[in-house]
Amino acid sequence: MHSKGGLNPNSRILSRRSIGVPKGFLIFLALHLLKVRPSSGSELMDKIEEITKWRPSPGSIYPLLSKMKKRGIIVQVESEEPVLKRFALTDKGLEEFERMKEEDAALMDRFRATRRIYWTVIENLDDDLFQARDRLIGVISEVASFTNENSEALNKVCDIIENSIKEIIEVKKTLKGHNV
């Protein structure tokens, strides 16, 4: 299974987990989604995959739900489908979510570190370009909650981003001869 240079590239170990998710992210996501509406474990996995393109395994989500239930931050609720166990946040769960949101800075620092590793090491992105990209993502994140409730502002931000994309594509076209 191992070769002299490390893991065998054909090893199934490499394909089992496609991304590393920061510790605490799954519970944060589950609390956020359960705040929106009661859900089953499979519904949570589906929604997380829809938003993030990463699907937590049943071996991650169901033990987490069990721990959350024991801690009193979620409760099982009635479901129209008797085979599905749906859960909802309790007041204690909402408090936990709000506390985690306040501590969100540490979580965001871990995301930034992961992004930096990917973009500067894997994609070989110049540090100045990475910093500009990070500032753009940061400012979009800052206005996201406001634009979600203001369609005019949302459209304006989307137009600005689309126009910027067009300008960057024009720059890219001029670099075609430089193996871009």
Query: Strands 6-7, 2-3: parallel, antiparallel or unpaired by DSSP?
Result: antiparallel
Instruction: Give the model confidence (pLDDT) of 119-168 as tens digits.
Output: 888 888 888 888 898 889 888 888 887 777 788 888 999 999 999 999 99
What does the pLDDT read at residue 16?
Answer: 46
What does the pLDDT read at residue 24?
Answer: 77
- CATH 1.10.10.10 domain span(s) along the chain: 14-102
pTM score, whole prediction: 0.61
Q: Are 20 and 114 in contact (CB under 8 A)?
A: yes
Fold exhibited by the domain 14-102: Arc Repressor Mutant, subunit A (1.10.10)
**Regions of the chain with pLDDT less than 50:** 1-18, 180
What does the pLDDT read at residue 22?
Answer: 65
Task: Give the CA angle between residues 36, 39, 40 to the nearest 5°.
Answer: 160
